[in-house]
Amino acid sequence: MSEAPAGATAAGRAPFGERLAAATAARGPLCVGVDPHPSLLAAWGLADDADGLRRFSLTVLEAVADVAAALKPQVALYERHGSAGLAVLEELLAAARDAGMLTIADAKRGDIGSTMAAYADAWLRDGSPLAADSVTLSPYLGFESLRPALDLAAETGRGVFVLALTSNPEGASVQHVGGDASVARRIVDAAAAENRRYAGSPEGHGSVGLVVGATVGGAVDALGLDLAAMAGPILAPGLGAQGATPADLRTTFGAAYGQVLGTSSRDILTGGPTAAGVRERAERTLAELAG
């Protein structure tokens, strides 16, 4: 996607929020998750090793590089192969960059500030072998503990997606706690405050995004979350394999639907082993999201 337009950061690229907005405007609001589960590798006729992982990953990229706005590799499924798996992840991130596709490293990192600085360095620093356009973060140690990642992302034109309301049913036991001042609401408000640093971006396309599951139903309204005012992208997992439909997204997000990036992994990946099969499923999901 576009590098170095008017609002370029110190790193010479436009802020992530602007680059993502441009990608969704051009292609539609779909992110494809790359989750090479052992069962999917087997279904594709691939071995559960680094070679299988590589074939799988590069096939998904080839399939959706000009269909989806972003690619979201699930880091855990590379980590389970050790250093060989991480080498494949590095190759995938570089290949996506070369193909002009934005990446979201789904690493869900979160730790005390000094350690967080190292996670930020790994995923958001120019020149890092694992640098992605954005990374998912867990705010369980407090939103402010994410500061090193928030600041490095701003400096390098990258982005973050902070977990707010996750797609799994267990998430409510933590995220809904607090009534009018729920944990989720505090995260949404903190992201909104953080996105004020991107107030110069057109239409308030901040680079601090949130993760809000496509499966959360009425929780956004019930908890009084003002997602539209958050002025950043909303990554919505849970489509397909977890039961949510593109139509659910419109109901769940209402006025904030324009900020939503729907993401689906297994439902699209079962279209393999051919790139054409994966592409067909991605195109179908995209048509439903856009329709």
Ligand X SMILES: O=C(O)c1cc(=O)[nH]c(=O)n1[C@@H]1O[C@H](COP(=O)(O)O)[C@@H](O)[C@H]1O
Cβ contacts of 182 within 8 Å, gap of 6 or more:
175, 176, 223
> Which one from 13, 54, 55, 108 is the annotated catalytic residue?
108
d(CA 139, CA 153): 16
Cβ contacts of 140 within 8 Å, gap of 6 or more:
110, 174
3-state DSSP assignment of residue 42: helix
Give the DSSP H/E element, type plus range, for residue 280.
Answer: helix 275-290
248 touching ligand X, by CB under 6 A: no
* β-pair partners for 237: 263
3-state DSSP assignment of residue 146: helix
Cα angle value 109/264/97 (rounded, 5°): 65
Q: With respect to ligand X, which residue has the nearer C-beta, 35 or 133?
A: 35
Q: For the chain, what is the radius of gyration of the CA atoms?
A: 18
Candidates 266, 275, 280, 288: give the one binding ligand X (CB under 6 A).
266
103 touching ligand X, by CB under 6 A: no
Known catalytic membership, residue 72: no
Candidates 9, 74, 252, 259: give the one binding ligand X (CB under 6 A).
74
- What number of chain residues touch ligand X (CB under 6 A)? 19
Token readout for 253 is: 């997000």
Candidates 29, 33, 110, 233: give the one binding ligand X (CB under 6 A).
33
159 touching ligand X, by CB under 6 A: no
85 touching ligand X, by CB under 6 A: no
182 touching ligand X, by CB under 6 A: no
Candidates 167, 182, 201, 207: give the one binding ligand X (CB under 6 A).
167
Residues 128-147, mask of contacts with ligand X (x by CB under 6 A): --------x-----------
Token readout for 19 is: 């680059």
Question: Which residues are known catalytic residues?
Answer: 108
Binding site for ligand X (CB under 6 A): 33, 35, 74, 106, 136, 166-168, 211, 213, 237-238, 240-242, 264-267
